[in-house]
Structure 1
Amino acid sequence: MTVHSAGREALDTEHRRRFLESGYLVLPGLLPEALRERLVPEVDRWVDEGLRARSIAACVDPDRHGPPPVLELELPAHGELLAHPPLLRALTGLIGPSFVFHHLHSDRQAPGIPGKPWHHDCEPHDGSDPSLVMVHALHYLGGLDEKVGSLAVLPGSHRTAAGKNAYSHHGTTELPGEVVIDRLPPGTTVLLNSALFHTRRPAPEGPGRPRYFIDASYCQAGARWRPVKPHWRQMLARARELDLADGQWPELFAEHHFTEYTGTV
């Protein structure tokens, strides 16, 4: 495995250059143990109490199900993670100081779960500047190893305009030029340009241990981005009520960075 990595120190211009060029950056151990120990039981609750299923249903059929009873960011450690200072400092170093939270997903992926085909996760915006960046922060609470599976990325693929599923016909198979990330310590965060193609692969030796996984996305200010959750206004309003930005990031949960919700895509 060869990865572009940076520790918990401040990112420099070389990290930014590599991120802009390759489309990803690995931050080993970005999440401290104390935060991970609080996040894991929250993920368990999210999955075991059916809250994740309710959240998905609220997006798939909002007219029938309405908003979810609990938002992920209302779980205390999840809310703290969204504005974790080292994470926001890293984002500032890569895309500048003005960005907005887009959405949050949390899961405990069971051992043996099938892989996810090649895809990207970038949403469009209504601006005229194609250089504006959306970033996904992939948090691996328990790390990655041969018992969990791997993440493969296709460096540079974010620089070519393509639909989210343009490479999905390849499944999870190896593609020329890919980088496989299969050894990460617990609490590592991988920052992806959201337009970068990537795939999740299962453990090569069969069922191992669960993959505790949280991803949060952030969009560079300068245009209005398309939301992916029908209850996006409620989500941002609740984040402001809880003061998750701690008064330091005025744009982090601002509604004016988004278009109207137009349905699932």
Structure 2
Amino acid sequence: MNHLTPDEIAQFDEEGYLVFEGLFDHDLNERIKADVDQLMIDREKGERPMLMAYPELGLLTSEPGVVDRVADLMNGKKFVHHHIHARWQLPGERGVAWHQDYAQLPQTNRSHLMVHVFMYMDGLNGEVGDLLVMPGTHKKIMANDAYRQFQFEDLPGSRTIDSLAPGSIIIVHSALQHARRPKPGGGIYKRYFIDTSYCEEGILWPSYPNIAEINRVALETGCDRNGKYAFLYDTSQFFERRDYMDRFNEKNQGSIVLQL
């Protein structure tokens, strides 16, 4: 079943995240990991590959088990795909300090929903990069780096996720504060990590560079699954942030409301 229960939707609204253990079957999981392995080889050669061009990673952006659950959180409203990242991490890699990923310039409201989907192809076992989350922080308006001074520390009310089955995903409200705690590792374990992101339609969202080209490749390579998920790759829902930053920095003085 690819849909959420009312209790799960209520939990997401309250806490800002949902965990789904072992969502992907073994065969799909292995194909995705093979794509990530090839991606890392290509990067090692100095290439800057587009993830949409890798068959399993591209299709992952429209994976029904993910997208249909996101659709339930959007409550019947249209939404688009924002980005996909992928890599694996090894023992001893540096962590990522507390932050949130809601894409808005500047951070002023949460009128439209944005979610990230964290995917752990080999799960988590406490050896490489625990995930830390701070439930409820998606309800607060704050800068992306508002908690960064706390690095990877446990905070009052925070939770540590360090045990997940292979093929697990976590859907998080993009404004949820989270971190990756570095770990020394205990063997040859790799932390395969992929994140995708989706934005509710109705406003323009800051885009990643080359969004038009990324969406063109997605449609040409069949990521829309015979048109069923073509709505995900709508470039018209984004703006190029670099086109606005100089003007914003010039006008960013005092109370912005007085300039409306």
Scaled by the length of structure 2, the TM-score of the pair is 0.86
One-letter identity of the residue aligned with 1:113: E
Q: 2: distance between equivalents of 1:86 and 1:52? A: 33
Structure 2: distance between partners of 1:38 and 1:52: 22
**Correspondence for 2:162 among 176, 182, 192:** 182
Q: How does 1:144-159 map to 2 (within 5 A)?
A: 144-159=124-139
The corresponding residue for 1:134 is 114
| 1:19 matched to 2:9 | no
Report deviation, 1:146.
Answer: 2.1
Corresponding residue number in structure 1 for 2:103: 123
Q: How much has 1:82 moved relative to structure 2?
A: 0.9
Identity value in percent: 34
Worse-matched range after superposition: 94-103 or 134-143: 94-103
Q: Distance in 1 between matches of 2:62 and 2:19?
A: 18
Q: Does structure 1 retain, via aligned residues, the 8 Å contact 2:109–2:141?
A: no
Distance 1:85 1:257, change over 3 A: same
Aligned to 2:191: 211
| Aligned partner of residue 17 in structure 1, secondary structure | helix
Trace 1:162-241 onto structure 2 (pairs within 5 A): 162-203=142-183, 209-227=189-207, 229-241=208-220
Counterpart amino acid of residue 260 in structure 1: E
Are the aligned partners of 1:148 and 1:208 in contact in 2 as well (CA < 8 Å)?
A: no
Q: Which of 80, 83, 89 is the equivalent residue of 2:68?
A: 89
> In structure 1, how many angstroms separate the alpha carbons of the residues matched to 2:46 and 2:122?
22
Which has the greater radius of gyration?
2
Is it true that 1:45 corresponds to 2:25 in the alignment? no
CA distance in 2, matches of 1:240, 1:20: 32
**What's the C-alpha RMSD, in Å, of the aligned pairs?**
2.3
Q: Match of 1:30, as an amino acid?
A: L
Task: State the alpha-carbon separation in 1 of the partners of residues 210 and 26 from structure 2.
Answer: 32
In structure 2, how many angstroms separate the alpha carbons of the residues matched to 1:255 and 1:141? 29
Q: Is the 8 A contact 2:2 2:66 kept in 1?
A: no
Instruction: Determine the structure 2 residue equivalent to 1:101.
Output: 81
CA distance in 2: counterparts of 1:189 and 1:171, whole angstroms: 24
- Aligned residue type for 2:4: L
Q: Secondary structure at the match of 1:100?
A: strand
- Contact kept in structure 2, 1:11 and 1:93, CA below 8 Å: yes
> How many positions carry a matched residue from both structures?
242
Are 2:23 and 1:30 equivalent residues in the alignment? yes
CA contact under 8 A between 2:128 and 2:185: conserved in structure 1?
no
Runs (5+) with no aligned partner, structure 2: 246-260
Residues 1:175 and 1:245: Cα distance change in structure 2 (over 3 Å): same
Q: Does the 8 A contact of 1:99 with 1:220 survive in 2?
A: yes
What letter is aligned with 2:6?
A: T
Q: Output one character per residue of 1:54-84: Cα deviation in whole Å (capped at 9) or x when no partner.
A: 44xxxxxxxxxxxxxx311110111121111
Residue in structure 2 matching 1:76, options 31, 55, 58:
55
Pair 76,204 (structure 1): closer, same or farther in 2 beyond 3 Å: same
CA drift of 1:129 comes to 7.4
1:36 Cα deviation (Å)? 0.9
C-alpha distance in structure 2 between counterparts of 1:53 and 1:175, whole Å: 39
Separation (CA, whole Å) in 2 of partners of 1:72 and 1:51: 15
Measured in 2, the distance between the counterparts of 1:74 and 1:26 equals: 28
Indicate if the aligned counterparts of 1:106 and 1:214 stay in contact, CA closer than 8 A.
yes
Q: Distance in 2 between matches of 1:131 and 1:111?
A: 39
Give the match for residue 66 of structure 1.
Answer: none
